[in-house]
Every structure is written in structure tokens, then in C-alpha cells.
């Protein structure tokens, strides 16, 4: 493909700093910190002008490898001390946290990083056994709580009015306490008087990310998210989703172009097409189909696939009614659709290895073509690049894909502002509600 003009916002890039099994190795090595690998990735990311670090989280042991083995906010706070420009995106649930605590945690991260904090708000599909004796609330209940929680957190951030702090002319600050206002929130889930006891943030509010693609998740993202983290395996999926969520955001009075669309790229690299074919073949041959059967069953809401032949499609009567699913409803929708397209169990198990995310195999130039296709279509604003913790994939990303995307003027060559909000080139936040 040819280069594209640089008139629109450049594609922003993100890489992960959580979930590596190396955390387990470091945990039993007195000479290493469990943060060591993340520090290396963070420094590499900043040296190569990647826009942000992303820390995923799960709240149950063994739910998905080592994800959740370290608390995201603590990891990113530590990484803020060894970086100066890269954004810091922490995944934290609204289902098991109180908004006043969330505002204090993210407010502090924004201060210690000088304006680089972002909150990936999730509603959690696991972990309820660790937060009380009750069952996991329904998706509708979780998203209703999330909407109130985000609204309260934003109100707390805005409880410090402009001019509440001013320089005293001698290196100190003068506080005008009259410009720090209670929020007096009384809602269905929370009663919070406020104000926040942390000064106004460098970004006013951390950048708001959100993950969740069910009906309720789309509504939440359209209302509050500045960036939505998505699982969109095909271009058609991406176009349909982007049109839908942005149309709803427009109805809600959001700024044009919001929310930005962030997709996770699961790439299989090769220097040549023959090497790519070999890598894909080796991945297929290494697949444990019995373990994959269990993984796919989970992706389909826990249905029984034990007796189904690998080279048959899943009968319609076996597939779940998505409306009855309480966990990862968006993921169940993706794999139910794949099954209804006639994919065999074997094909679905292979697809489930990428957990419903966008998967591409190719040379760096071919993968850049796939990225450019979505970027040009207006359905890709933020791209996650994995593998910086592995030498082979790190080489392909940093010395292959990123330079190619920059050659095409899709990805920028440097940071463009002082804060993460600036670097994402987001529209201004809405004005304060109160004088």
C-alpha cells in the first residue's frame, strides 16, 4: 500500500507490561525484582516512542495465565519513576472498588507521573469469590454500577475548581478552599459527599479507557469512554462496531470522533512468506486440542463440547442464548457468530487461541498493510503491540513493523505533548459543571 497523508490524527501505539510468566520466575529469585521485565519493556517502549503501557488485570488465580499476578496501579506507579513520556493505562474494575478510592488512586498516579495516567474501566467477569459470598452480579447490574462509579469519579476530579491553587510567588502554593466543592452525590450504589482530598490533576481527569462490547458495554463506552478497548477480529466487525458506538456517542452529545477505537493485534511474524507459513503451521501443530476444547467452551459461556467431533460444526441447539450469559457476554457473541458461520470445532479452537482478538500472520510489510486498511477505514485509532518481552517478536515490532508504519506516516515519530491526553490528541474535556 502507499503512504497516507498526515492530516488526521496519527495511529497511537500501546504495549503490555503485565501477565508475563517471568513474574513467577522472579518471585523465587532473590536477585531479581518482579518488576524487572516490565522496567525493560517500559524503557524500550519509551525509546521507540510507543505512546503507552497497558496493565491488564484479573482477580482470580489461574483465570488467564499470569494476568493479575501483580496489581496494575502499583506496577505503573513504579514504572512512572523510570519513564517520562509514555502513558500509563491501568485496568481496574468498578464492580469491586468504591469510586472515592478509585479517584484517589488514579489521581495520585496522574500526579506522580506528571499527567500520564489512564483508567481502563472494566466490570469484571471473574473474582466475585474473593469479594464476598454473593454471586457475580448480572451484566446489567455491573454496568449500571460502572456508570454511576465513573460519574462519581469524574465529579470528584472536578471538585477542585480552576484557581483553587495558585502560586504564592515564593515556590509555594495558596489554597482557596472556597473553590474546592463537595459533590453531594447520593445514588443507587454510592453516597459520596466529597470533595476529593487530592489536588486538581495535571490532566484534570486521567484518560478514560473502557472495555466491554455487550449492549450495556457499548452504552457505557459511548457515554464515558475516550478510548474503547475492543475485540474486533474482522474488518467488518470493526466497521459495524465503530459506526454503532460513535452514533450513540453523538446522540449523547460527545465530541466528534469519540470514542477512539483501540484494537489488540495478535501478530504472527516472519521475514518471508515462507517463514510465516512455517510459523503458522508450527503453531497449529503445537495446539493441544483437548485444552483448547475447554478454552472454547469457556468462550461460549461454559457449554459442553466434550463429545463433539473436531471436524464438525457446533449444532445450533448447543449454542447458548447470549441473553442468559453472565460472564464475557461480548466474547460469547463473537464465538457464537463464528460457530453459526459453519466453522468446525477445530477451526474454532484455533481461533480461540487469540481469544476473539484481531489476528494477522505476515511479514512486517503485510501486517502493516492490514493495519493501514483499518486505519484508513477510520476504525483503528490505537493499536496494541505485544511481544516486547520476547526477543524474536521484539525485533519484528521495533525493527520491522513500527519503522514501516512510520515510513507510511501512519504512526508518528515522536510524542507530541506533555501529557498522555496531549499525546493521544484527544478533544478537550467538557467544561466544569459548576462555576
Residue 287: the pLDDT is 86
* β-bridge mates for residue 260, sequence order: 227
Contacts from 389-398 at CB under 8 Å and sequence distance 24+?
389/20, 389/22, 389/37, 389/40, 389/41, 392/269, 393/267, 393/269, 394/44, 396/267, 396/269, 396/364, 398/44, 398/48
pLDDT for the residue numbered 243: 96
Residue 397 has a pLDDT of: 96
Q: What is the pLDDT of residue 178?
A: 95
H helix or E strand, kind and range, residue 92: strand 87-93
How far is residue 385 from each of residues 146, 223, 292, 388, measured CA to CA in Å?
28, 27, 24, 8
How far is C-alpha 421 from the geometric centre of its chain's CA atoms? Answer: 15
Inter-CA distances, 349 with 288, 294, 337, 410, Å: 9, 9, 14, 33
Cell of 285: 501443530
Q: From CA 334, how far away is CA 311, in angstroms rounded? A: 20
Beta partners for 160?
180
DSSP letter, residue 168: -
Residue 396: closest CA among 360, 424, 372, 423: 360
Which DSSP symbol is given to 432? P
For residue 64, the model assigns a pLDDT of 66
Locate 287 and state its grid cell: 495446539
Residue by residue, pLDDT tens for the chain (435 residues) are 444 444 689 999 999 998 788 888 889 999 999 999 999 999 999 999 999 999 999 888 876 667 778 999 999 999 999 999 999 999 999 999 999 999 999 999 999 999 999 999 999 888 889 998 688 888 889 999 999 999 999 999 999 999 999 999 999 999 999 999 999 999 999 999 999 999 999 999 999 999 978 888 999 999 999 999 998 989 999 999 999 999 999 999 999 999 999 999 999 999 999 999 999 999 888 888 888 888 888 878 888 888 888 888 888 888 887 777 777 777 788 888 888 888 898 888 888 787 778 889 999 999 999 999 999 999 999 999 988 988 889 999 999 999 999 999 999 999 999 999 999 999 999 988 755
Q: What is the pLDDT of residue 222?
A: 97
pTM of the complete model: 0.91
pLDDT at 14: 98
Q: Which pLDDT score, from 0 to 100, does residue 6 have?
A: 44
> How many CB atoms neighbour CB 65 within 10 A?
12
Give the other-Cβ count within 10 Å of 39's Cβ: 17
- Inter-axis angle of helices 364-376 and 235-251, to 10 degrees? 30
pLDDT at 284: 87
Rounded (5°) CA angle 381-212-185 = 105
Amino acid at each position: 500500500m502507499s503512504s497516507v497523508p498526515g492530516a488526521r490524527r496519527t495511529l497511537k501505539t500501546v504495549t503490555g507490561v503485565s501477565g508475563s510468566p517471568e513474574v513467577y520466575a522472579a518471585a523465587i529469585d532473590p536477585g531479581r525484582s518482579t518488576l524487572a521485565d516490565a522496567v525493560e519493556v517500559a524503557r524500550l517502549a519509551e525509546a521507540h516512542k510507543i505512546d503507552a503501557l497497558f496493565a491488564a488485570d484479573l482477580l482470580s488465580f489461574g483465570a488467564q495465565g499470569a494476568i493479575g499476578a501483580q496489581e496494575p496501579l502499583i506496577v505503573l506507579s513504579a514504572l512512572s519513576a523510570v519513564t517520562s513520556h509514555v502513558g500509563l493505562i491501568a485496568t481496574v474494575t468498578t464492580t469491586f472498588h468504591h469510586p472515592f478510592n478509585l479517584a484517589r488512586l488514579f489521581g495520585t498516579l496522574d500526579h506522580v507521573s506528571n499527567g500520564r495516567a489512564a483508567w481502563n474501566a472494566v466490570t469484571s467477569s471473574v473474582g466475585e469469590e474473593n469479594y464476598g459470598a454473593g454471586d457475580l452480579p448480572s451484566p446489567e447490574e455491573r454496568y449500571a454500577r460502572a456508570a454511576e462509579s465513573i460519574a462519581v469519579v469524574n465529579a470528584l476530579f472536578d471538585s477542585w475548581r480552576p484557581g483553587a491553587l495558585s502560586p504564592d510567588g515564593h515556590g509555594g502554593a495558596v489554597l482557596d478552599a472556597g473553590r474546592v466543592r463537595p459533590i453531594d452525590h447520593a445514588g443507587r450504589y454510592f453516597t459520596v459527599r466529597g470533595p476529593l482530598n487530592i489536588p486538581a490533576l495535571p490532566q484534570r481527569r486521567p484518560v478514560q479507557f473502557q472495555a466491554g462490547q455487550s449492549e450495556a458495554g457499548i452504552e457505557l463506552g459511548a457515554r464515558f469512554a475516550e478510548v474503547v478497548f475492543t475485540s474486533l477480529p474482522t474488518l467488518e466487525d470493526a466497521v459495524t462496531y465503530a459506526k454503532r458506538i460513535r452514533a450513540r456517542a453523538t446522540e449523547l452529545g460527545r465530541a466528534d470522533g469519540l470514542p477512539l477505537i483501540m484494537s489488540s493485534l495478535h501478530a504472527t511474524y516472519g521475514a518471508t512468506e515462507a517463514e510465516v507459513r512455517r510459523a503458522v503451521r508450527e503453531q497449529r501443530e503445537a495446539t493441544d486440542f483437548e485444552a483448547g476444547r475447554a478454552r472454547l467452551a469457556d468462550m461460549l459461556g461454559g457449554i459442553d463440547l466434550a463429545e463433539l467431533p473436531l471436524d464438525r460444526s457446533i449444532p445450533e441447539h448447543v449454542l447458548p442464548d447470549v441473553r442468559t450469559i453472565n460472564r464475557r457476554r461480548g466474547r460469547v457473541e463473537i464465538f457464537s457468530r463464528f460457530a453459526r458461520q459453519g466453522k468446525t470445532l477445530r477451526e474454532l479452537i484455533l481461533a480461540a487461541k487469540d481469544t476473539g482478538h484481531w489476528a494477522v500472520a505476515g511479514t512486517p510489510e503485510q501486517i502493516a498493510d492490514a493495519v493501514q486498511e483499518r486505519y484508513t477505514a477510520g476504525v483503528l485509532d490505537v493499536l496494541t503491540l505485544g511481544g516486547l518481552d520476547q526477543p524474536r517478536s521484539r525485533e519484528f515490532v521495533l525493527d520491522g513493523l513500527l519503522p514501516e508504519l512510520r515510513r507510511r506516516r501512519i504512526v508518528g515519530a515522536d510524542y507530541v505533548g506533555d501529557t498522555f491526553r496531549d499525546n493521544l490528541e484527544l478533544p478537550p474535556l467538557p467544561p466544569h459543571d459548576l462555576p
